[in-house]
Amino acid sequence: MIITKQKSLDEILGMMEGKKSVFIVGCGECATTCRTGGEKEAAEMSAKLIEKGKTVTGSVIITAPCLELDTRRVLRQNKDAIEKTEAILVLACGAGTQSVAEAAICNVYPGCDSLFLGNVFRHQHFYEKCSTCGECVIGYYGGICPVTRCSKSLLNGPCGGSMQGKCEVDNKKECAWIMIYERMKKTNSLDNLTKVFPAKNHSAGTSPGMVINAGIRG
């Protein structure tokens, strides 16, 4: 899922300077889980904006704003309120915000910053384990991603700087290469670590990504 954090009210008000009325769109999936754009956060945002003198013309939580056709349908259902608004504030990731921007005719503003594609460990504990590089190599590393989880993205690690199992770049994080070593030891596959892997093919992860009928990526 996409991990987001809500922007500060000051930043949101700064972006919407001069706009008096606003309609709020939230997200029923990722942003609800992150507590950045669910029912509760949309209601709280509405109250804050009203306190700052804005007119809130309405709000809606779209199940998943990144589903563009569904987003268009929900916005059509809220046409009357949206026609009265000068701005739409979206409490969702950048993908969801762009779905709204492409479907709406007024100014659309992001209420959240998108941080990473995250695994949910437990309530409000999110970890980045994949950075969608376009060519998955974890089969050579015991199922642990060195591209994302090693701070230096080393394919031939470790760097030698790890202290007590922690990464030298950020000692709050586990050293990915110690995890890889321990995992491969458990599965009797340490021999694989004697191989030297070529530099990562970064051209496989070109942006903007596109997949059509599961066949084309560009």
Binding residues (CB under 6 A) for ligand SF4: these are: 130-133, 136-138, 145, 147-148, 150-152, 154, 157-159, 161-162, 167-169, 175-177
Q: Which residues pair with 117 in a beta bridge?
A: 2
Checking DSSP bridges between strand 211-212 and strand 216-217, what pairing results, if any?
Answer: antiparallel
Smallest separation (angstroms) from ligand SF4 to the CB of 218: 17
Per-position DSSP letters for 151-171, written without gaps between them: TT--SS---S--BTTB-SS-T
Give 9 or 137: the residue with its C-beta nearer to ligand SF4. 137
Give the closest residue to 148 by CA, choosing from 133, 164, 158, 163.
133
Q: CA distances (Å), 2 to each of 67, 99, 181, 192, 200, in order?
A: 14, 15, 29, 32, 24
Closest CB to ligand SF4 among residues 77, 206: 206
Interatomic CA distance for residues 178 and 38, integer angstroms: 38
Instruction: Provide the minimum distance between the beta carbon of 144 and ligand SF4 in the complex, in angstroms, as a whole number.
Output: 9
Q: How far is the CB of 2 from ligand SF4 (least distance, A)?
A: 14
Report CA-CA distances (Å) from 57 to 37, 54, 122: 17, 9, 35
Pick between residue 105 and residue 211 the one whose CB is nearest to ligand SF4.
211
Which is closer to ligand SF4, CB of 171 or CB of 189? 171
Q: Which is nearer to ligand SF4, 104 or 147 (CB)?
A: 147
Q: How far is the CB of 185 from ligand SF4 (least distance, A)?
A: 16
Residue (94 or 205) nearer to ligand SF4, CB? 205
Shortest separation between residue 190's beta carbon and ligand SF4, angstroms:
16
Min. distance of Cβ 84 from ligand SF4 in angstroms? 44
How far CA 198 is from CA of 156, 161, 195, 201, 206, in Å, comes to 9, 22, 10, 9, 19
Find the radius of gyration of the CA atoms of the chain.
Answer: 22
